[in-house]
Amino acid sequence: MPGLYARESRSVSKMAHLRFFPQAVVGGSGAYLTADDGRQLLDFSASWGAASLGHSHPAIREAVGRALSDQAGASYLSSANEACVLLAEKLLSLVPERARGRVWFGHSGSDANETVARIVVAATGRPRILAFHGAYHGGTIGSMGVSGHPAQQGSRAEGLTLVPYPNSYAAGSPEAARDAALAHLERLFATEVPPEEVAAFFIEPIQSDGGMLVPPDGFFKAVEALCRRHGILIVSDEVKVGLGRSGRFNAFEHSGIEPDIVVFGKGLGGGLPISAVVGPEAIMNHSVAFSLQTVHGNPVCAAAALAVLQTIERDHLILNADRSGKVLREALDRLTARHTLIGDVRGRGLALGIELVTDPASREPASRQAALTVYRAFQLGLVLYYVGVQSNVLELTPPLTLTPAEAESGVAMLGQALADVAAGRI
């Protein structure tokens, strides 16, 4: 929003590419951040999903403190450290049997997806990859190469083919969306893309950056059947919506499918940089040696990730994501009745999207209003972002620890922000 940034505080004026908020934060606790003017901000984004346990969680503080004071190496490349070994064992136990081979560690969702893009082509000898229009798999050249988000046009890999993600709201019904997307895929295999040349299909079990799209029932089961028939590997990008956020540990579980490769990131480190790829031995051992960065598998980050996984289990946070997600969803549904800007509310657990439209009949994307709502909410004390191929979907990915009271409080601020935008008060 040109103009809005003119008001940024001195504290952030040296930051390149500042996109959203003109203010720095100086601390955080649970679902709240403290801004540099002392304001408490309720973080409905969990720092884009990274702060899965909220901010400054004691389990992460303790694990990181211990790991730092008794650091076992700096990388898992020369010799594996204990935290990485334990983390690898844990992650292997959390994926389907067919993916239970080896674990690779990286720093981010981007380097993890880039690694997968490289190894699937090298290991299968097949040159092509499928992914969805609207998919965001990362911001490095290799991960942008398998992404389909409009923000990444110009970076697509040569062997990439993009297919539509079913959009139930745009299509009018989940069934219509599912059938059209599947028909497109089958037509593609029959005409332009020989399936025997496709190494892998990168899927998002819920398409987050493309607009928080929830796949219709049966869609991924049919995709899985097609992939199995043609020997195409399924890669599930769980970076934003996995690790309990959707109300199940893996978001693909809602669709009843079993991917060959699972990619974790963001919330895995609870705010520290660590990602992981889990997949079958034959694939993972192939050319993984070409994807090395010095401090991959850092023991401090691995210790944080172990603490995240242990806390999710101990505190029943998957159940909490489901329960608090329902409270949030019901409160958002109540907002829908009062705000004509809201066209659709969708998502699973604590991965929710609110599509804003200028009028519910025409469904014209209300992109400017989405940006203004995000900014107004920030002024009122609520942090959230917008996503979507038209930048008109408000994205809610709060910490998995969110309480029903925090859910209600955030929705009250969001309602006020929407009312202010609709009334032109901002």
Instruction: For residue 136, indicate whether it is catalytic.
Output: yes
Q: Which stretch binds ligand PLP (CB under 6 A): 13-21, 94-102, 106-114, 211-219?
A: 106-114
Give the Cα separation of 119 and 286 in Å (integer). 7
Residue whose CB is less far from ligand PLP, 164 or 195: 164
Give the Cα separation of 263 and 276 in Å (integer). 6
Given a contact cutoff of 8 angstroms between Cβ atoms, the answer to whether 376 and 197 are in contact is no
Q: Counting contacts by CB under 6 A, is residue 208 touching ligand PLP?
A: yes
Rounded to a whole number of angstroms, the minimum distance from the CB of residue 266 to ligand PLP is 6
Rounded to a whole number of angstroms, the minimum distance from the CB of residue 173 to ligand PLP is 26
Write the interaction track for ligand PLP spanning residues 227-256; mark x where CB under 6 A is met and - where it is not.
----------x-xx----------------
Cβ neighbors of 329 (< 8 A, separation 6 or more) are 345, 347, 352
Q: Counting contacts by CB under 6 A, is residue 388 touching ligand PLP?
A: no
Q: Counting contacts by CB under 6 A, is residue 395 touching ligand PLP?
A: no
Given a contact cutoff of 8 angstroms between Cβ atoms, the answer to whether 391 and 367 are in contact is yes
Q: Degrees (nearest 5) of the Cα angle 306, 309, 310? A: 85
Q: Counting contacts by CB under 6 A, is residue 114 touching ligand PLP?
A: no
Q: Counting contacts by CB under 6 A, is residue 391 touching ligand PLP?
A: no
Q: Which stretch binds ligand PLP (CB under 6 A): 136-144, 378-386, 405-413, 418-426?
A: 136-144
Q: Counting contacts by CB under 6 A, is residue 152 touching ligand PLP?
A: no
Give the Cα separation of 17 and 77 in Å (integer). 33
Give the Cα separation of 247 and 270 in Å (integer). 17
Residue whose CB is less far from ligand PLP, 209 or 355: 209
Separation of CA 14 from chain center: 28
Q: Counting contacts by CB under 6 A, is residue 110 touching ligand PLP?
A: yes
Given a contact cutoff of 8 angstroms between Cβ atoms, the answer to whether 336 and 326 are in contact is no
Among 45, 52, 75, 108, binds ligand PLP (CB under 6 A): 108
Q: Counting contacts by CB under 6 A, is residue 406 touching ligand PLP?
A: no
Task: Considering the candidates 32, 76, 136, 386, report the single residue annotated as catalytic.
Answer: 136
**Using CA of residue 325, residue 331, residue 333, residue 336, what is the dihedral sign?**
negative
Residue whose CB is less far from ligand PLP, 248 or 266: 266
Q: Counting contacts by CB under 6 A, is residue 329 touching ligand PLP?
A: no
Residues 60-89 that bind ligand PLP (CB under 6 A): none
Residue whose CB is less far from ligand PLP, 174 or 265: 265
Rounded to a whole number of angstroms, the minimum distance from the CB of residue 73 to ligand PLP is 23
Rounded to a whole number of angstroms, the minimum distance from the CB of residue 328 to ligand PLP is 19
Residue whose CB is less far from ligand PLP, 35 or 246: 246
Among 149, 266, 296, 323, binds ligand PLP (CB under 6 A): 266
Q: Which stretch binds ligand PLP (CB under 6 A): 102-110, 124-132, 317-325, 369-377?
A: 102-110
> How many other C-beta atoms can be found within 10 angstroms of the C-beta atom of residue 29?
12
Q: Counting contacts by CB under 6 A, is residue 209 touching ligand PLP?
A: yes
Q: Counting contacts by CB under 6 A, is residue 136 touching ligand PLP?
A: yes
For ligand PLP (CB under 6 A), the number of binding residues is: 16
Q: Counting contacts by CB under 6 A, is residue 204 touching ligand PLP?
A: yes
Q: Counting contacts by CB under 6 A, is residue 137 touching ligand PLP?
A: yes
Residue whose CB is less far from ligand PLP, 41 or 274: 274
Comparing every residue's Cβ against ligand PLP, the nearest one is 109
Among 205, 265, 297, 325, binds ligand PLP (CB under 6 A): 265
Give the Cα separation of 164 and 180 in Å (integer). 9
Active-site positions? Answer: 136
Binding site for ligand PLP (CB under 6 A): 108-110, 113, 136-139, 204, 208-209, 237, 239-240, 265-266
